[in-house]
Structure 1
Amino acid sequence: MKVFSQSMSIIENAIQQTSTKQKVISQNIANVDTPGYKAKDVSFKSAFKSAISNVNTYKTDERHFDITPSNLGTTVFTKKNVTYNESGNSVDMDQEMSELAANQIQYNALVDRMSSKFNGLENVIKGGR
């Protein structure tokens, strides 16, 4: 018998990905004044691949999209097509702060969702009391 549904592992993976994104953004912000530093970003493709591979999906209508984990991978990469300042640094502080706020909102939503899953499990264990 499975105590936790597949959604718990999906949420856990998503929380790990937002944590990685937080670290990369923090590195970018910390190196805003480092000459020659190239800003980095995170690709969440492997988390998506992992989540999709753990979920059994089927189409109920031929117009639905197929969900397949083809050619996906997780990477931390150097951002391309960015403007460099006179020291060769490519960190845009406004963009980093915006991404930091968005990532924090996503993290909070995931933690809230996981908390509600545990609250539901606790409710079942206590017999609805």
Structure 2
Amino acid sequence: MAISFEKAFGIHPQTLRVRAQNAEVIASNIANADTPGYKAKGLDFQAAMSKAASRQTSAMSRTHEKHFDVKSQANSGTEYRVPNQPDTGDGNTVDVQMERNLYLENSMHYQASLQFMNGKIKSLKKAIGGGQG
């Protein structure tokens, strides 16, 4: 009987990709905290996960290496955030404390998915090795 990694891991590989993308958006906000006119961006996690899940079931595939990878070209779901602090005069909408908290929260969710996948890998290795792994 073949082992289906998609069934074993579920949505967690897609979750890791979206969490990594979210970390990049948040890090970009923090890096631009002192850039005049910079508008803080955010990732709609639910929308990004819906897109990831629909792409997983999509029948589209690349048939030639020079073709565009349509799956990776889709809109990322990144949008501008509504500022929660008054304008400081330079047009920048980044709240560094909020961004740091969001980064920490995102990191904890990322680690949780990694731990889940590590547990699944250990159980699969155990099943393959007949209880020796």
1:8 aligns with 2:5: no
TM superposition shift of 1:48: 3.2
Match of 1:123 in 2: 126
* Matched residue type, 1:120: S
Secondary structure in 1 aligned to 2:5? coil
Extract unaligned runs of 5+ from structure 2: 58-74
Do the aligned residues in 1 keep the contact of 2:83 with 2:93 (CA within 8 Å)?
A: no
Equivalent pairs, count: 112
Secondary structure in 2 aligned to 1:86? coil
Percent identity between matched residues is 29
Extract unaligned runs of 5+ from structure 1: 56-72
Q: Which residue, 94, 102, 106 being the options, matches 1:103? A: 106
Q: TM-score, normalised by structure 1?
A: 0.76
1:89 aligns with 2:92: yes
Q: TM-score, normalised by structure 2?
A: 0.74
Report the RMSD for the aligned CA atoms in angstroms.
Answer: 2.2
TM superposition shift of 1:15: 0.3
Do the aligned residues in 2 keep the contact of 1:43 with 1:74 (CA within 8 Å)?
A: no
